[in-house]
Amino acid sequence: MKPVKFKIDGRVCTAEKGQNLIEAAKANGIFIPTLCYFKHLNPLGSCRICTVKNNGRPIAGCTLNVDEGMDIEVNSAELLDLRKAILEMMFVEGNHFCPSCEKSGDCEMQNLGYETGIRYARFPHLFVDRVVDARPERIVVNQNRCIKCKRCIEEIKTNDGHKVFHLTQRGNRTMVSVDYEQEAKLSEQQAEHAMHICPTGSILVKGKTFGKPFGDRQFDYAKANTNIPLTDLKKHVNKNKKKKRVATASLAGCFGCHMSMLDIDLGILDLVDIVEFDKSPLTDYKKFNERCDIGLIEGGCCNTDNIEVLRKFRKNCDILISVGECAIWGGVPAIRNTLPLEDCLKEAYIDSLTSEENETVIPNHEDIPKILDKVYCNHDVVKIDYHIPGCPPNANHIWNVVKNILFEEDYSITYPEFKYD
């Protein structure tokens, strides 16, 4: 094979003529992220995350073979944002509840979310009701998490060459279906292979999902020594006051984020020296005493009271921050968003195992808030200035963001402190 010279972001690279761009870039020390490209498989070109520009023309990097004189753009601001956007589309299209996912920590998509620094999705979450198919012999296919990369379709075949997975339907209903007959023929090893090549937690092998405990997984402590600078924060300098004021609230959440706030242990003593808490469960003040510099909101909005509290916070705080997955996009309470509200309430209050027939009722009184048709994330209701992901977010993450905003010094967090679970 003839070696050829080509450029990536202006840097001259060499590779064999016709080599796949992803491989060629890697050999030259440039990482092009992708979720569908897989070793020996023909390029699938389905996820589009590796989109690059070849002589100005956009194309999926995995479908490009290098040739003499190519001028390839990989990490321009436009393309970095585009990659982030496509990943965000995947997050909003499926129902990716990282805190309750068996693959968390081993998930390529989640890791790419960390790598690209996604704190929240710019797009609205679609909350489509999707099937979890446990009928196959060895595996479970969770359509909520599938990104239709097609890896399993091309790679997983029975010993006699039959496909086990294939796309069915089309448009936004497209999904990867399983052939039950062929799936039963898979060996334990083949089934596990399917689980491992799946870039998300869509394909799981029954009984094998917790083989490696959380905390020991491949992305858990990846890049433990790298720091993530907390950039694009709005600095807030209010020189008139001695002490900065912080308010917090828990809406449709579990108070876990508040627990996490306390996790800085003795650091909290330093904190009360420099900030004063206003309305917050920590102080038990029910009303705002003064205007606050920062409001920290845990949880999304599932009822009318949440909406009112949130609006009050917006009115009384200069900077409003969504803390945790529930605040950012609905999180665990939003699992109900794929179902009609009536079904959820009936299941909870009337048809539940512990309720006796005709003895229970769905609570409804003018003194209690009304339940909204779905769980809304906070930035659906008011303007939110910053998002801190995690379930719960790491304490250092929370307080470093706060310190960054309130004081003029820059703080950063370590890589493993940025998590969705």
* Backbone φ and ψ of 217, nearest 5°: -85, 165
**Residue 147 lies near other proteins (rule: CB under 8 A):** yes
**Residue 45 lies near other proteins (rule: CB under 8 A):** yes
Do the beta carbons of residue 278 and residue 247 sit within 8 Å? yes
**Residue 18 lies near other proteins (rule: CB under 8 A):** no
Residue of the chain from 177, 209, 283, 414 that contacts other proteins (CB under 8 A): 177
Quick one: CA torsion of 323, 327, 331, 336, rounded to 10 degrees?
160
**Residue 130 lies near other proteins (rule: CB under 8 A):** no
Quick one: CA torsion of 244, 245, 250, 255, rounded to 10 degrees?
50
For other proteins (CB under 8 A), the number of binding residues is 70
**Residue 138 lies near other proteins (rule: CB under 8 A):** no
Name which of 153, 200, 154 is nearest 420 in CA terms.
200
Name which of 158, 152, 114, 11 is nearest 70 in CA terms.
11
Residue of the chain from 14, 76, 174, 238 that contacts other proteins (CB under 8 A): 174
**Residue 80 lies near other proteins (rule: CB under 8 A):** no
**Residue 338 lies near other proteins (rule: CB under 8 A):** no
**Residue 30 lies near other proteins (rule: CB under 8 A):** no
Quick one: CA torsion of 229, 233, 238, 239, rounded to 10 degrees?
30
**CA distance linking residue 332 with residue 325, whole number of Å:** 8
Q: Which stretch binds other proteins (CB under 8 A): 19-27, 55-63, 95-103, 397-405?
A: 55-63
**CA distance linking residue 326 with residue 251, whole number of Å:** 9
**Residue 350 lies near other proteins (rule: CB under 8 A):** yes
Residue of the chain from 30, 41, 167, 228 that contacts other proteins (CB under 8 A): 167
3-state helix, strand, coil in the chain (%, to 5): 30, 20, 45
> Nearer to other proteins by C-beta: 55 or 227?
55
**Residue 44 lies near other proteins (rule: CB under 8 A):** yes
Provide the CA 50 distance to its chain's centre, in angstroms: 19
**Residue 172 lies near other proteins (rule: CB under 8 A):** yes
**Residue 370 lies near other proteins (rule: CB under 8 A):** yes
> Nearer to other proteins by C-beta: 7 or 166?
166
C-alpha separations of 284 from 247, 252, 271 in Å: 11, 18, 18
**Residue 307 lies near other proteins (rule: CB under 8 A):** yes
**Residue 372 lies near other proteins (rule: CB under 8 A):** yes
**Residue 43 lies near other proteins (rule: CB under 8 A):** yes
Reply yes or no: is the peptide bond before residue 124 cis, omega within 30 of 0: no
Q: Which stretch binds other proteins (CB under 8 A): 200-208, 373-381, 393-401, 405-413?
A: 373-381
Do the beta carbons of residue 173 and residue 129 sit within 8 Å? no
E strand or H helix at 191, and its extent? helix 188-197
Six-digit token string for 159? 């010993």
**Residue 187 lies near other proteins (rule: CB under 8 A):** no
Six-digit token string for 324? 């945790």
**Residue 179 lies near other proteins (rule: CB under 8 A):** yes
In the complex, minimum distance from the CB of residue 20 to other proteins, in angstroms, rounded to a whole number: 11
Residue of the chain from 82, 228, 254, 282 that contacts other proteins (CB under 8 A): 82
The DSSP annotation for 9-55 comes to TTEEEEEETT-BHHHHHHHTT-----SS--TTSPP---S-TTEEEET
Residue of the chain from 171, 207, 213, 215 that contacts other proteins (CB under 8 A): 171
Residue of the chain from 364, 366, 367, 409 that contacts other proteins (CB under 8 A): 364
**CA distance linking residue 4 with residue 360, whole number of Å:** 75
Residue of the chain from 367, 383, 408, 409 that contacts other proteins (CB under 8 A): 383
Residues that bind other proteins in the complex, under the rule CB under 8 A:
42-49, 51, 58, 60, 63, 65, 81-82, 85-86, 89-90, 92-93, 122-124, 126, 147-148, 150, 158, 162-174, 177-179, 181-182, 304, 307, 314, 340-342, 345-346, 350, 361-362, 364, 370-374, 376, 379-383
